[in-house]
Amino acid sequence: MQKNSLIRTQSYVNGQWVNAASGKTFDVKNPATGELIASVTDMNILDVRKAIDAANDAWPSYRDLTAKERSSLMKNWLTLILEHKEELAELMTMECGKVLTETLGEVDYGVSFIEWFAEEAKRVYGDVIPAQTNDKRLIVIKQSIGVVAAITPWNFPLAMITRKVGPALAAGSPVIVKPPAEAPLTGLAIAYLAEKAGFPPGVYNTITTTESSEVGKELCENKKIRKLSFTGSTPVGKKLMSQCASTLKKLSLELGGNAPFIVFDDADIDAAVKGAMISKFRNNGQTCVCVNRFFAQDGIYDEFVEKLSRAVAGLRVGNGLDKDIQVGPLINEKGLNKVKHHVEDAIARGARLVQGGKHMSGLFYQPTVLADATQDMIIAKEEVFGPVAPVIRFSTEEEAVQMANDTDYGLASYFYSKDVNRCWRVAEALECGMVGINEGLISTVVAPFGGVKESGMGREGSKYGMDYFMEIKYLCFGGIK
């Protein structure tokens, strides 16, 4: 087992660290080295039901705390997370391969959601509605939705938890976190810090499991859970949505993307390359908002491909814990095989390999640029989730927008142009939830994160984020004299 004082191997339920009733455990390995980091409890639905019951029992007294009391528990938690920033970042790098500079950034990104929603807790305002008769007074209040389940992904082991539990805890809801089997240790580490922060037993629960389908189904179908928030793939999101139908559970889904990145003839090409590098190669291409398809206009096509390839050739690939490394490994064999398959398919269909294109060793793949890509290649249709940049040529603005929108997904889009009229036109025409205009990094706590079409529903973060964890109740006072 590797050294890190935050490593916890049991699940955290009702204020206790517990084993699975079956005694089963599973191994967590470092994708950069293949080394075992730890073995953690493998819970089944019976274990999970206990966590749900505990959370439901904790709900009334937790929601009755004042907003200020909930807020100060959250602030204790964020202080503890920041005090352990380096250790948490190292743990994340060990379990998901993301490079250390990015995991250090993720701790800050993660706590920003706790801080933001700890403040928002105090501003859950209602409304007074002018009545249509003098004997009535109409009021709207907002109340905690009830127990929230958060199913979170391996690519952001910390921030995707805090982006979901931040508003839930602020609104007065106990939480059940199911971190991913690939990278559960950060989730357990922050549960340990939540315990230290003083959340009452049952308010903050974290369960680890490899039985994702069964446990996910229970989280969807159990009536005591009132809200499910999931970040992950579109096929899994669809399955969870159909399972949630049985209890008409409220849902937030942040699913896959197929982000276009359009570079127009009138763009600042150097700025576009800089934005492309951030939005494509962040976390080795393994984020939902990473660019999947580049589109470059005829007039600048060759220049963009050439400059992008040069920048990509300079990326340093290796173990994310090593100094100066910019790109880590893929998360697992399945991810690696997908990348290989997408590149092979693109080349077979006529793409020109300009940079990279080879498996290095273990789970490492060379950052890659493919020119002369087309929309019929698998890489243009499916999320590659890896370090491959296919560049498609286009002639007109209409053609670029049409191709960009020609996908079932609609999470993030990016484009570069210096023409302000075009900026408005294209931003409004793109079918997605978020647009980067002359910008490759758009994620921030203060803005609403989420997608349209098959990229999901609901928004996380920002002033809109809290509403997804609250119910609106209308009060009609009659007989007023």
Using left for φ > 0, alpha for ψ between -120 and 50, and beta otherwise, residue 56 falls in alpha
Contacts of residue 307, Cβ cutoff 8 Å, sequence gap at least 6: 269, 270, 273
Separation of alpha carbons 236 and 225, rounded Å: 19
* Contact in structure between 204 and 195 (CB atoms under 8 Å): yes
The region that residue 320 occupies, defined by phi over 0 for left and psi between -120 and 50 for alpha, beta otherwise, is alpha
Q: How far is the CB of 478 from ligand SIN (least distance, A)?
A: 47
User: What's the closest the beta carbon of residue 114 comes to ligand SIN, in angstroms?
Assistant: 15
Q: Which CB sits closer to ligand SIN, 367 or 451?
A: 451
230 or 365: CB nearest ligand SIN = 230
Contact 88, 158 (CB under 8 A): yes
* In the complex, minimum distance from the CB of residue 468 to ligand SIN, in angstroms, rounded to a whole number: 16
| Residue 289 or 321 with smaller CB distance to ligand SIN | 289
The torsion angles phi and psi of 384, rounded to 5 degrees, stand at -75, -35
List residues near ligand SIN by CB under 6 A: 155-156, 231, 254, 287-289, 443, 449
The answer to whether 100 and 320 are in contact (CB under 8 A) is yes
Amino acid at 246: S
As a whole number of angstroms, the distance between CA 340 and CA 353 comes to 13
Chain position carrying tokens 């004082």: 5
- Closest approach of ligand SIN to the CB of residue 346, in Å: 23
Torsion over CA: 362, 367, 373, 379 (sign): positive
User: Catalytic annotation on 432?
Assistant: no
Smaller CB distance to ligand SIN: residue 9 or 286?
286
Backbone angles phi, psi at 80, to 5 degrees: -65, -40
428 is catalytic: no
Q: Which residues sit opposite 436 in a β-bridge? A: 414
Nearer to ligand SIN, 202 or 450 (CB): 450
Nearer to ligand SIN, 240 or 354 (CB): 240
Task: Report the SS3 class of residue 17.
Answer: strand
- Could you give the dihedral angle defined by the CA atoms of residues 97, 47, 458 and 163, in that order, rounded to the nearest 10 degrees? -50
Query: Residue of minimal CB distance from ligand SIN?
Result: 443
Q: How far apart are CA 274 and CA 254, in angstroms?
A: 26
Q: Given 182, 211, 218, 254, which residue is catalytic?
A: 254
Work out how close the CB of 436 gets to ligand SIN at its nearest, in angstroms, rounded to a whole number. Answer: 11
Which is closer to ligand SIN, CB of 259 or CB of 392?
259
Q: CA–CA separation, 398 vs 410, rounded Å? A: 18
Of 96, 244, 288, 432, the active-site residue reads: 288
Token pair listed for 113? 């959601």
Closest contact distance (angstroms) between CB of 220 and ligand SIN is 20
Least distance to ligand SIN, CB of residue 288, Å: 4
- Catalytic sites, residue numbers: 254, 288
